[in-house]
Structure formats: C-alpha cells, structure tokens
Amino acid sequence: MLKVRLDSWLSEFGPRGQERVEARSIEQLIEALERKYPRLRFKLRDETGNLRRFVRVFVDGEDVSGRAGVATPLTGSETIDILHSIAGG
C-alpha cells in the first residue's frame, strides 16, 4: 500500500493526514483519491487529465515531473507527497 500525504491546502478537499491507497501509477492513485474524496476532482488534474501547473507530486522525495508525470509507475511501497504551490509575487 502507498502512503499518501496532501499539503494543508489540498487536505481541505481530501484526507487530513496520511492515507493508504493501492495504485500502480500516479494516475491510478489520483483516480482513487478522487473517487474517495470527490471534492479533490479538478484540484490535482486539469480537464485533460494532466497534473495542474501548480501541483507537484513527489514519489519518495523525487518530483514526478522529471519522470513520466501521471504515467509514473508505482511499486506499492512508496511514500507520495502531493503539494499545491502558491503563485504570485
């Protein structure tokens, strides 16, 4: 099982604290979270299914944007951190 943590802003729409999820990719992970927490829909991904520009997903501390994005495979033992960055100056 994957350990998933959302930042404080995203946790208002999903789990507060750590959530356990089974998934084989980031895409499946997000789909599972959106099914369980419908208010997360469109907070993490846009209408095309890609991660939103200001959302960062880290697998064991490594940003998936340097990998295959939502297609990044998971083995089931990773820790996933999902962060929503704040834009502005």
In degrees and rounded to multiples of 5, residue 56 shows phi and psi of -120, 135
pLDDT of residue 69: 84
Give the DSSP letter string of 71-85: G-B--S--EEEEEEP
Confidence of residue 89 (pLDDT cuts 50, 70, 90): low
Domains of the chain: 2-84 (3.10.20.30)
Cα atoms in the Cβ-side hemisphere of radius 13 Å centred on 52? 18
pLDDT tens digit string along 14-73? 999 899 999 999 999 999 999 999 999 999 999 998 899 899 999 999 999 877 888 999
Whole-structure pTM value: 0.89
